[in-house]
């Protein structure tokens, strides 16, 4: 019998991409989907009506949730914390698949990124693990880009500088960035033809700094700017987004007892979709760039090594080229002038696909095959 799979958070940024991918791959024919929402209860929805022509259920109704064999949630941390423990305390034995961060470091949960840790996923299912969580988006994208170097144990340490898109912060944040750019353009559009560019720049700046400029979600202007802080502050001065890089990477690789050292500076930028990352890598041994390229490109079918040329970099290594694809381009590969074991690399990945929805979609396959 087909399993009952409850979907929560399917209206959001990650959830919408998940449903689109599942429709494309015809995944719904293998399950009985039931749709829940925190705000659309009792409504029907055009986006899902072909697969679910019924009324949307209440995502806080524990009795209805308990009937599910599997729950997939892309709703967020607050929802997970309100519902997950209540369900488990009522002896619900179903599988919980989550995009939110709150259960990631829980000892009973497994972080899922099957091109990297499919063996761990299979073994965990056999052992009776019931909670599977997608990892942080930049962590998943880094592990797919550098998977070859990780799997051959060639990495001594990495520092990462991220350039993270507005959509990493959800639907409302994307809309806020679009609103910010719209307000700025409306204020300066009449000046573009006849004014000096620095006069226009001054007007842009005063518009952005005005008291009524919309910053409710990002807490600071993002349009024409950047925000070098993502998530809460940790005691050691890292942001939580930076802290996740070492902790989640090592959990995925089953290396928490013998961790690879990683640190990061995570920055929100005004691209709309796709996260970019710049790596400085200390290798364990001096290997040539062509050997590194072979190791990287043979790790998984999605990683694409981009030649270190201006033409290829401009064409393939940017958010616009990657948006909506599962490709993980990695380029700007070169040894740093400081030594032959120091490697520089730059990657871009769609954080809504491989960074969130795709590992979760593929996790469902492990449970229904
Ligand atoms: P989101 O876009 O903010 O959506 C979350 C929920 O917000 C929706 O399910 C919907 O719930 C509600 N919502 C309110 N206004 C909405 C609107 N205008 N459009 C769509 N939905 C709206 O959040 P998200 O970015 O998908 O993130 C979900 C979880 O995944 C979070 O825990 C996040 O940390 C994690 N995650 C996100 C990314 C990413 O790149 N965004 C990557 C990895 C992990 P109702 O239907 O109940 O109203």
Residue showing tokens 């994208």? 141
- Dihedral angle, C-alpha 142, 148, 152, 156, nearest 10 °: -40
DSSP string, 220-255: S--TTS-BS--SPBPTTS-BHHHHHHHHHHHHHTT-
What pLDDT, on a 0 to 100 scale, did the predictor assign at position 32?
97
> What pLDDT score was predicted for residue 355?
98
The total number of residues written for the chain in this structure: 369
pLDDT digits (tens, 9 = 90+) for 27-38: 999 999 999 999
The radius of gyration of the chain from alpha carbons, rounded to an integer in Å, stands at 22
- At residue 1, the pLDDT reads 87
Q: Return d(Cα 159, Cα 168) in angstroms, integer.
A: 21
Name the closest-CA residue to atom 31, ligand 1: 76
Atom of ligand 1 nearest to the CA of 102: 32
Give the pLDDT of residue 59. Answer: 98
Q: From the candidates 74, 266, 274, 275, which is the catalytic residue?
A: 275
What is the number of the ligand 1 atom nearest to the C-alpha of 136?
43
Dist CA 164 CA 348 (whole Å): 10
| CA atoms of 257 and 235, how far apart (whole Å) | 22
User: What pLDDT is attached to residue 276?
Assistant: 98
Mean pLDDT by 10 residues, the chain (369 residues): 96 98 97 98 96 97 98 98 98 98 97 98 98 98 98 98 98 98 97 96 98 98 98 98 98 97 98 98 98 98 98 98 98 98 98 98 96
Give the pLDDT confidence of 194-223 residue by residue, as tens digits: 999 999 999 999 999 999 999 999 999 999
**DSSP 8-state assignment for residue 233:** B
Residue minimizing CA distance to atom 34 of ligand 1: 100
How many whole angstroms from 193 Cα to the centroid of ligand 1? 40
Single pTM value for the model? 0.97
pLDDT at position 92: 98
Tokens encoding 368: 């229904």
Please report, for the chain, how many H helices and E strands are present, in that order: 13, 13
Q: Which residues line ligand 1 (CB under 6 A)?
A: 9, 11-15, 37-40, 59, 74-77, 99-101, 137, 167-168, 170-172, 351-352, 355-356
pLDDT at 369: 83
């Amino acid at each position: 019998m087909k399993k009952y799979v409850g979907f929560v958070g399917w209206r959001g940024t990650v959830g919408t991409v998940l449903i689109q991918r599942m429709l494309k791959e015809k995944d719904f024919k293998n399950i009985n989907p039931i749709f829940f929402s925190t705000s659309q209860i009792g409504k029907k929805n055009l986006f899902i009506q072909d697969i679910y022509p019924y009324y949307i259920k209440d995502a806080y109704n524990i009795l209805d949730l308990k009937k599910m064999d599997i729950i997939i949630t892309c709703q967020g941390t607050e929802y997970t914390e309100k519902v997950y423990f209540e369900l488990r305390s009522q002896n619900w034995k179903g599988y919980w698949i989550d995009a939110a961060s709150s259960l990631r470091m829980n000892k009973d949960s497994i972080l899922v990124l099957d091109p990297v840790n499919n063996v761990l996923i299979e073994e965990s299912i056999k052992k009776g693990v019931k909670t599977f969580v997608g990892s942080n988006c930049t962590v998943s994208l880094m592990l797919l880009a550098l998977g070859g170097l990780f799997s051959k144990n060639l990495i001594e340490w990495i520092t990462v500088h991220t350039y993270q898109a507005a959509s990493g912060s959800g639907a409302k944040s994307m809309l806020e960035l679009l609103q910010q750019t719209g307000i700025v353009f409306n204020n300066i559009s009449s000046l573009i033809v006849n004014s000096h560019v620095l006069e226009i720049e001054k007007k842009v700046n005063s518009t952005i700094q005005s008291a009524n400029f919309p910053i409710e979600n990002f807490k600071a202007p993002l349009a024409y700017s950047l925000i070098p802080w993502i998530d809460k502050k940790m005691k050691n001065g890292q942001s939580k987004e930076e802290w996740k890089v070492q902790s989640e990477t090592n959990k995925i690789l089953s290396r928490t007892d013998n961790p690879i050292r990683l640190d990061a500076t995570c920055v929100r930028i005004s691209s709309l979709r796709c996260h970019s990352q710049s790596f400085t890598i200390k290798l364990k041994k001096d290997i040539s760039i062509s050997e590194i390229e072979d190791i990287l490109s043979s790790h998984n079918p999605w990683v694409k090594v981009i030649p270190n040329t201006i033409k290829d970099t401009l064409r393939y290594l940017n958010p616009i080229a990657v948006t909506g694809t599962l490709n993980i381009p990695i380029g700007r590969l070169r040894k740093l002038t400081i030594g032959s074991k120091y490697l520089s690399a730059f990657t871009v990945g769609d954080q809504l696909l491989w960074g969130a929805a795709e590992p979760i979609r593929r996790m469902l396959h492990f449970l229904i095959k």
